Amino acid sequence: MNNLYVISGVTGMTGSELARQLLKVGHSVIGFDNFFASSLDSIHDVIDSTHFHFFEYDLNNDEQMDQIKKKVLEYKNDFLQTIYINCAAVVHTEHFYEVEHTFQTNVSSMHTFLKQAIDVKAAIFINCSTSEVYSMQSWNNTGGVKESDYVVLSTAEHSQRTSYAVGKLLTEFFLKDAVDKKLIKGCSIRFANVYSNHERFAKHIIPHIIDSLSKRGEVTLLENSRKNKRSFLHNIDSCRAVLALIESDIALDGTVYNVATNEEVSIIDLVSIIGKKLNIHNPNIHFEGYRASDPERRILNTDKICERTSWFPIVSLSDGLDMCIANLKQ
């Protein structure tokens, strides 16, 4: 017997791939999105599936969320269990400075969505958090930061950007509290920098570089990029991590899991790698602007998820970039 999945932010990077993979194996999906940072294009290949119920709804709209609840109650008895996955969020760093919007979507509405899952007696709630939580202490020289490490946060004295990290951190407390009270099972996931070959909005760094180089043969980056290094996680792997955690009962303890790769690359080298794949050698890089409270590195230790599930990343950065470039040309 199959499951019913309820996914917020279903046209986003992780949400869209989750819908794709779940539908492929026969599960049913109720998904919604307001297209804040995505479009219907990301799910064009599954939108007509008889097992996919899509709604252009906003997590912040109470009436629309009541409609989602009614749909879940209408369908849930036909399935083995109901599983909620919260992928909706205010994303793109430029929006992290909009503190009220960030709080409303990422914190308040997530909490309402969690309460809905409890009300309909869903079995599991997966909360998509972020590695931004680690803020200014997001790397070390001993294999990366662990979920149990204390965090050093920049504050409003430094940058409003941290409102995103603080909000996501609070959602982890909401879920842990619900699990500890035995209201539901679940966990939170701190993803590294997720990218996708379905992403059409050139606001994240990888699509920005691909778009700029393919159109102009050059790219403009922040001054921070002279030093910054990151690890990037393809949404195929972020999706696989969610599904692996759902299948592991010991993982659904309300705690947090890092999900990342160990492939670290400087942003300068990333431009060079993408340039070569586009047959642009030594592309021009212009540096403009500076972002406060932007850590130079972000390296996550993934021992915990690897010990409690069978997950490991399967998409290399090179292969993932090839998929992004190929999709751009379609």
The answer, yes or no, to whether residue 92 has pLDDT greater than 70, is no
Average predicted confidence (pLDDT) for the chain: 91
**Residue closest to 130 by CA, chosen among 111, 109, 160, 151:** 151
The answer, yes or no, to whether residue 273 has pLDDT greater than 80, is yes
Neighbouring CB atoms inside 10 A of 265's CB total: 15
Most confident of 52-66, 82-96, 149-163, 193-207: 52-66
What are the CA-CA distances from residue 310 to residues 42, 102, 135, 205 (Å)? 27, 33, 28, 29
- The pTM of the full predicted model, rounded to 2 decimals, is 0.93
The 10s digit of each residue's pLDDT in 35-72 is 876 678 889 899 999 999 999 999 999 999 999 999 99
The answer, yes or no, to whether residue 274 has pLDDT greater than 80, is yes
Q: For residues 70-77, give the mean pLDDT.
A: 97
Using only C-alpha atoms, the chain has a radius of gyration, in whole angstroms, of 19
pLDDT at position 30 = 98
> Is pLDDT larger for residue 190 or for residue 99?
190
CA separation for the pair 94, 92 (Å, rounded): 6
- Could you give the angle at which helices 109-119 and 62-75 cross, rounded to 10 degrees? 30
Where do the domains of the chain lie? 4-196+233-261+299-314
pLDDT at position 152 = 84
pLDDT at position 262 = 92
Confidence of residue 161 (pLDDT cuts 50, 70, 90): low
Q: What is the CATH number of domain 4-196+233-261+299-314?
A: 3.40.50.720
Check if the beta carbon of residue 317 is closer than 8 Å to that of residue 261: yes
